[in-house]
Amino acid sequence: MSQQCVDIDVVLSYVDQRLTGQVVGYACCVGSAAGSAYTQGGNAQQEAGKPVQPFLAATKFSPASVAKALTSLSAIQLLTRPGSPTLDSPIGDWLPQDWIVATAGTGATSVAEIKFQELLSHRSGIRDATDTYTTPDFQEFVPLRSFFNQDPPLLLTDKSPSYSNVGFALFRILLPLVDGMQDDITQDDASRAAKFADAYESIVNQYVFNRVGVTGASTSAPQAPYALGYTYPGSTPGYDWAKYPLHLTAGAGGWWMSIDDIQPVLDDLAKVSLTNVDGHILTAEQWNQMQGAWNQQLNPKVPLGFDNLISPNAPGYTWIQKDGGDTGVSASIAIFGSTTGSAPVANAPFYGALFINSDISATGPNQQSGWRYCHKCGALVYTGNPAKGKCPAGGNNNGDHDTSGSSTYVLDLNVGDAGAQRGWRWCSNCQALCFTSSPSVCSAGSTAQPSHEFASSGQYFLDQTGGAKALERQDGWLWCKKCQVMTHGGGPCAAGSSHDTSSSGDYFIQWAIGADTVLLEAFEAAVAQCPPPPPPTPAPDPCQEIRDELNNISPGDFNNPAAYEAARVKLVAALAQCERLHG
């Protein structure tokens, strides 16, 4: 096996440099077949009047949607077990008997016809944010049942990808029933909810953590010191996730674990990837299914339970990753390496886990965070004020902008880089970022004052060259020359019809990053230090022996010129035939 050149210490050093003084606390592990190493920094708890608790590899943490990977690892094992339903089976026969859903067989749009693989790949038709039907705010037993018992029956017509916490919370109900749990529908709801939650936790522990000797992971609040969630720099009280009933909502999230708990899981999966030999958790075939083999028609491949398969910034590298984020939570687990199995990461895959208990500070002295994308009109709007701003698309959210699900963006305020474009300001009426040219049309304007209002705004500077790190900025932002707002992907315009961005250049907007970006940047920083691979060894020349003989033939080797010429002609013909044969 070739010598690996990615230095784990380089990965960890990058993490330290990126996070020290920029987050409240973090812990990280990176490893490969050659071993693992750890780093950590900051605090897990720093509450006023209480002892400070450092963030360590053993610190319990609730990494939000990282739980979806655990749910999927358990599901793939149960659904490939003899006698069980398969990935292609509909879920209708595995829901509680008193969950009245559209009858199986009425068509592929009914709830009963949702397939297990559709839930695992976020293609079930369940859309957590929608105007068409109601989705539960929480994933507890009773709200989930109410969701599926909607009248008229819920029909799911759009099977395009849509990230769904509801779909994964459903596995807390499905997996116990697939595993043989008996559900007594005469019990009260609280008792049934607890029974399903206990069974789900037991299944994940049995099929994931216990397989690699881990016993400390749970959906119940830990007793030992654990990490609170903070807003950097942590000067306000932390958010205590232990006070929330994660045990009763688990599936999409809800797990408590430490870096020490998740490291053996990633190590086992990485070894399966490296050797293509069955591991303690998954067989090689099950792991391949999770990486996209479950549906060969999809291109690019779609993973089950994970977010990525290929590095977004380094073509040719795998990046099998699942991240999680919530209030004071940023987490990522990943397996990364070369898709070809050759240099510069021949001993790949490597794996990493990074838990952070605050946002990552992205704002310097002249930057402003709090900007988000409205998915109704496409505008970049400020969300740091109570007023959300009227959206030209109207509709849900009381007709205001709807930034649910958006990343947080960061803008240079009053001071910008050389070459950045000035003249951008915030409209205090509609909350959008706008260029200060005339005319302008505001979605919150009046007949007397239809234009944007900039009196309270500083001046923003926008980049058109992509100066920020590649993974920390988003291009494709465009200026609408009708209403003057900055938009991404278009949408309804306050000046009528849709935004007109035909005269715009391409703008790069910095966004607030999470653990997944830091971990990937750290991996890429290590790859960048690898020496270039050696040139390929030329293939042997099958005609070389004939060529050498022809080059070495001499008249002195023969009794007369005629014999020499006959031998030479014979060798020339043999060489020509050899070259034709081998191209």
Domain layout of the chain by residue ranges: 367-512, 544-581
% residues pLDDT > 90 (the chain): 54
At 228-250, the pLDDT tens digits run: 999 888 999 999 999 998 999 99
Question: From CA 324, how far away is CA 333, in angstroms rounded?
Answer: 9
Question: From CA 204, how far away is CA 70, in angstroms rounded?
Answer: 7
Q: What per-residue confidence (pLDDT) applies to 45?
A: 95
Q: Is the pLDDT of residue 46 over 60?
A: yes
**What is the pLDDT confidence band of residue 327, given thresholds at 50, 70 and 90?**
confident
**What is the pLDDT confidence band of residue 41, given thresholds at 50, 70 and 90?**
very high
Q: What is the mean pLDDT of residues 84-89?
A: 96
Q: What per-residue confidence (pLDDT) applies to 196?
A: 98
**What is the pLDDT confidence band of residue 4, given thresholds at 50, 70 and 90?**
low
Q: What is the mean pLDDT of residues 384-403?
A: 87
Q: What per-residue confidence (pLDDT) applies to 553?
A: 85
Q: What are phi and psi of 368, to 5 degrees?
A: -130, 125
Q: Is the pLDDT of residue 121 over 90?
A: yes
Residue with more model confidence, 583 or 54: 54
The answer to whether residues 137 and 112 touch, using CB atoms and an 8 Å cutoff, is no
Q: What per-residue confidence (pLDDT) applies to 109?
A: 60
* pLDDT, averaged across the chain: 87
Is the overall model pTM greater than 0.85, yes or no? no
Q: What per-residue confidence (pLDDT) applies to 426?
A: 96
**What is the pLDDT confidence band of residue 3, given thresholds at 50, 70 and 90?**
very low
Q: What is the mean pLDDT of residues 319-324?
A: 92
Q: Is the pLDDT of residue 40 over 90?
A: yes
Name the residue with tokens 């654990």.
226
Lowest mean pLDDT among 67-81, 315-329, 334-348, 561-575: 334-348
Terminal-residue alpha carbon distance, the chain = 32
CA Rg value for the chain: 30
| Angle value at C-alpha 306, between 300 and 311, nearest 5 degrees | 55
Q: Is the pLDDT of residue 454 over 80?
A: yes
Q: What per-residue confidence (pLDDT) applies to 207?
A: 98
Strand-pairing partners, residue 435, are: 424
Exposed / middle / buried, residue 5 (Cβ in 10 Å: 0-12, 13-18, 19+): middle
Q: What per-residue confidence (pLDDT) applies to 131?
A: 46
Q: Classify residue 344 by its DSSP letter.
A: T
The answer to whether residues 141 and 248 touch, using CB atoms and an 8 Å cutoff, is yes
Centre a 10 Å sphere on the Cβ of residue 231 and count the other Cβ atoms it contains. Answer: 15
**What is the pLDDT confidence band of residue 315, given thresholds at 50, 70 and 90?**
low
Q: Is the pLDDT of residue 419 over 90?
A: no
Q: What is the mean pLDDT of residues 190-212?
A: 98
At 517-559, the pLDDT tens digits run: 999 989 888 887 776 656 777 888 888 888 888 888 888 888 8
Exposed / middle / buried, residue 537 (Cβ in 10 Å: 0-12, 13-18, 19+): exposed
**What is the pLDDT confidence band of residue 129, given thresholds at 50, 70 and 90?**
low
Q: What is the mean pLDDT of residues 306-322?
A: 77
Strand ordering across the sheet containing 53-54: 53-54, 35-45, 25-32, 350-356, 329-338, 317-326, 308-310
Q: Is the pLDDT of residue 74 over 60?
A: yes
The answer to whether residues 154 and 134 touch, using CB atoms and an 8 Å cutoff, is no
Q: What per-residue confidence (pLDDT) applies to 342?
A: 44
Q: What is the mean pLDDT of residues 52-81?
A: 97
Q: What letter represents residue 540's amino acid? A: P
Q: Is the pLDDT of residue 435 over 70?
A: yes
Q: What per-residue confidence (pLDDT) applies to 529?
A: 79
Residue with more model confidence, 2 or 519: 519
Q: Is the pLDDT of residue 308 over 90?
A: no
Lowest mean pLDDT among 11-25, 309-323, 452-466: 309-323
